Amino acid sequence: LFHWRFIQGYNWRNVRTTFWDFMRHPRIQIPQLFFYSADDRVAQHQLITAHVQYLRSNGVPHVYSKFWKTSRHVQHFRVHRAEYDAEVRVFMRTCIVEWQTQDARRLAARNLTLSHGPIAYSRL
């Protein structure tokens, strides 16, 4: 009952606006991965495609996307397991390399060196 009363009075329009403002103008530059499909009844693939293109054209680094013609909402892994797995592995490698690069830059700026070697991601 408390939960229902809480969400009834919540300004969801403001939440949606804030969410999309954040998505269009991320405050931190991190790799992003989007999975989507043409027959998704919840997420419109045209909007996601436009959003991915917007991010790329505005200099957001490492924006990855995978589009399928057939795959219902949140069913991508179940329907396209091998492709999904391969995309996630590439994405995770990118994240690790990006993290190591940023870590090295921060340390170099403070005249320090890495005390650990690169993270092993051969299992990814």
DSSP string, 20-67: HHHHHS-SS---EEEEEETT-SSS-HHHHHHHHHHHHHTT-S-EEEEE
Q: Which residue has the higher pLDDT, 58 or 121?
A: 58
- What's the pLDDT score for residue 66? 96
Q: What was the pLDDT predicted at 26?
A: 72
> Do residues 31 and 67 lie in contact, with contact meaning Cβ atoms separated by under 8 Å?
no
pLDDT in tens, 51-69: 999 999 988 888 999 999 9
What gap in Å lies between CA 115 and CA 65, rounded to an integer?
34
- pLDDT at 14 (0 to 100): 65
The pLDDT, as a whole number, for residue 110 is: 78
What is the pTM (predicted TM-score) of this model? 0.70
Please tell me the predicted confidence (pLDDT) of residue 21. 75
